[in-house]
A and B are shown apart, each in its own frame.
Chain A
Amino acid sequence: MDFTYTILIPLIPLAVFLLLGFNYVKIKPAVSGWIGSAGLFSSFVLSYYTAYKYFFEVGKVDGVYQQFVHKWRWMSFTDTLQIDMGVMIDQISVMMLVVVSTISFMAHLYSRGYMKGDPGYTRFFAFLSLFTFSMMGLVLATNLFQIYIFWELVGVSSFLLIGFYYTKPSAVAAAKKAFIVTRFADLGFLIGILIMGYYAGTFDFLTLNDIDGPVISNWASTSFMGLSVFTLALMLIFMGGAGKSAMFPLHIWLPDAMEGPTPVSALIHAATMVVAGVFLVARLFPMYFFVEDGYALNLVMWVGAISSLFAAIIALTQNDIKRVLAFSTMSQIGYMMLALGVSGYDGHDGLGYMASMFHLFTHAMFKALLFLGAGSVIHAVHSNYLKDMGGLRKYMPITSITFLIAALSISGFPGFAGFFSKDEILVAAFEHNKIIYVITVIVAGLTAFYMFRLYFGIFWGKDKKYEHAPHESPMSMTIPMMFLAFMSIATGYIHFSEYVTADRMPFEAHLNYPLAAIAVSVGLLGIILAYVFYKKPTNLPDKVSSSFGNLYKWAYDKFYIDEIYMFVTKEIIFKRISAPFAWFDRHIVDGAMNLIGNSTVSASKEIKGMQSGKVQDYAFAFVAGVVILAMIFIYNWII
């Protein structure tokens, strides 16, 4: 089967970006919205067509999903080390195509309403298309280098979109923060890629991931500081993934990134770009699993578990609804990471891998929906803070209902998509590591609580008097929300284990009823607690939070991670390390250069008097020179 046409899926948004970007001034906002959405719609259709073709017609040969690669040589360094550009069609890339195109298309449709009247309307759509192009290129990448290029491109588009309101200082600061933090993480990624390229002699995923291939079977051949170099490379690559996916301790940019427009948060910072780290680990999963018996994978697991618990605790205390959702995203991505971490490879052992991808898929739908819902609410009340909201269900019925569906889904309520994917993760964790399992259950309860705190806080709670009565958002915004609400339920019923598996062979996965029952009851407990606390305005939450004392304060201040970063960068790096270097540079290096320059200048000041401009002085020097030369010659003759 020829999947070459899939190259169009990223290229159409690129064309749209160029069209909108170059004619930014000329195109009318209404037109640019339509162009952007139409471009995305064609990518969306192509993605679904590809998914249908791949999963139902040609993908499976003898019960094994095939990997289709179409690539073109781009640069060749040595006979073994080359860089290609191309498309790679396999289970996870097709799945990601579906996710990205769906969410991106919905975000485009939604933005047509949300961004209406914004002076940067065309620019916004251009950037959205740029992002979609980069993300599609990322998921279709055939080798590490290509993925790195698109990795940076999504970083740039994320930077541009976070800083979209560039007149707002906080947005500019957030954009810079996101870019610098992820760039710092990408430094690790790049070093990892280079180590990998040096020792494996290839960047190609097919060769790297070949479980009988030279790389995986020879992982022990070279070691450094007691670890295989491949383990080190994988850990460094994971550092890049952790930066993009906002894993602890590189998560600090994600909450601030909520300064961007809400559709951007939904598309980039909830559903697609932030799961790039998960995708990267999944893309290299055979390597992570087989090299040094999954040493690097353990790191993935623990980082995922810690991040998910950490973020869930912080999410309990935040008052900005978008920040709650941001920490919730971080927590859920931690889930996906730990699911990858506990996964095996063959057959049913690969449950964690499948669960992670499943959760990625469902999470993209309901988290995007939550963000769109939050955007709709923010659009109505012009505030991000819970204290300005309450009783909105009467004004915004559609938003209220879709938000409830998404909240139930993320809380793992039976029958909703989140329930199914989360259950698989819990099963995988339970089978692998009990401590991780306990963490996941706790996080499930916390997730349910903070989600319903949000839901009750926004749509129930106190009956607030609004100066301007809030009204339901326009159709352009509610239709994507309704579609995503449908997806938040329907995607749970896909038998994911038949489509996306670690060893590319389908297997049967069943609900584990005892574990599901525990998770659901913990989730229900969270929902009931939230109901008691926030359904009616009471002083109960304040009492509880004050009883937690310092812990509440720490969580509210995000455990001072930002302050620690500030301390490390400002006090230690800038003051103790950079300042001496700067001093050295300014005084010794520059000083030496200045000395050369200054001494030239002063020397020429001294001797420029000889250039007197008086012709007789020159003549005198000339005649004197001739006489002296003549004397020398005559002296030589006489001797």
Chain B
Amino acid sequence: MIQGISIYEILTVTTLLFFIGVYGFLTRKNLITMLLSIELILNASAINFVVINKYLFPDALQGVYFSIFIIAVAAAEAALAIAIIINLYKLITSVEVEDTEIMKY
């Protein structure tokens, strides 16, 4: 744990990061920038796992493992998302959200 820093402060920082990511996801109009917001959200939650592990259950390692898995899944998700975005760009030459509304009613 970090000397002089309580768990509340760290969790506050991660909460802010998380909701900044949510805000970005809701307002960005480009698929890649939305993807960035998702990375932000994922990382904020990954820190939570690690910090709670460290501060509350220092003898266990589950938080660390979960963070590793989150990183792996996030990498996988980023790879797939980018594959889809590139394919979409090949199809409609655009990565704007407005152009990808064909699934509506």
Contacts and interface: CB of A to CB of B under 8 A. Distances in A.
Contact flag (A, B; Cβ within 8 A) = yes
Interface of A: 608-609, 611-616, 619-620, 623
B97 interface: yes
B22 interface: yes
Contact of A620 (B26, B98, B101, B105): B26
Nearest to B101: A613
Contacts of A620: 26
B25 A608 contact: no
Contact of B97 (A608, A609, A614, A623): A614
Nearest to A604: B105
B90 interface: no
Contacts of A611: 104-105
Contact of A608 (B26, B27, B100, B105): B105
Nearest to A610: B105
A623 B26 CA distance: 10
Given A612-B101, A616-B97, A620-B26, 16 more contacts: A608-B105, A609-B105, A613-B100, A613-B103, A613-B104, A613-B105, A614-B98, A614-B101, A615-B97, A615-B100, A616-B25, A616-B26, A616-B27, A619-B25, A619-B26, A623-B26
Contacts of B25: 616, 619
18 contacts: A608-B105, A609-B105, A611-B104, A611-B105, A612-B101, A613-B100, A613-B101, A613-B102, A613-B104, A614-B98, A614-B104, A615-B34, A616-B26, A616-B27, A616-B34, A619-B26, A620-B26, A623-B26
Nearest to A615: B97
B42 to A, nearest CB: 15
B101 A623 contact: no
A613 B98 CA distance: 9
Contacts of A619: 25-26
Interface in B87-105: 97-98, 100-105
Given A615-B97, A616-B97, A623 B103 contact: no
Interface string B23-67: 001110000001000000000000000000000000000000000
A474 B46 CA distance: 107
Interface of B: 22, 25-27, 34, 97-98, 100-105
Nearest to A616: B26
Contacts of B34: 615-616
A609 B104 CA distance: 8
Given A614-B97, A615-B97, A616-B97, A623 B102 contact: no
Contacts of B97: 614-616
Contacts of A614: 97-98, 101, 104
B50 to A, nearest CB: 23
Contacts of B100: 613, 615
A613 B99 CA distance: 10
Contacts of B102: 613
A623 B97 CA distance: 19
Nearest to A626: B22
A612 B101 CA distance: 7
A608 B105 CA distance: 6
B22 A612 contact: no
Contacts of B27: 616
Contacts of B26: 616, 619-620, 623
Contacts of A623: 22, 26
Nearest to B98: A614
B83 to A, nearest CB: 17
Contacts of B105: 608-609, 611, 613
A177 to B, nearest CB: 55
A623 B23 CA distance: 10
A616 B23 CA distance: 10
A619 B97 CA distance: 13
A619 B41 CA distance: 13
A628 to B, nearest CB: 15
Contacts of B101: 612-614
Contacts of A616: 25-27, 34, 97
A616 B104 CA distance: 13
Contacts of A609: 105
A615 B102 CA distance: 11
A10 B97 CA distance: 79
A619 B27 CA distance: 11
A614 B98 CA distance: 7
Contacts of B22: 623
B9 to A, nearest CB: 21
| Residue from the set A608, A611, A613, A623 with the largest chain B CB neighbour count within 10 Å | A613
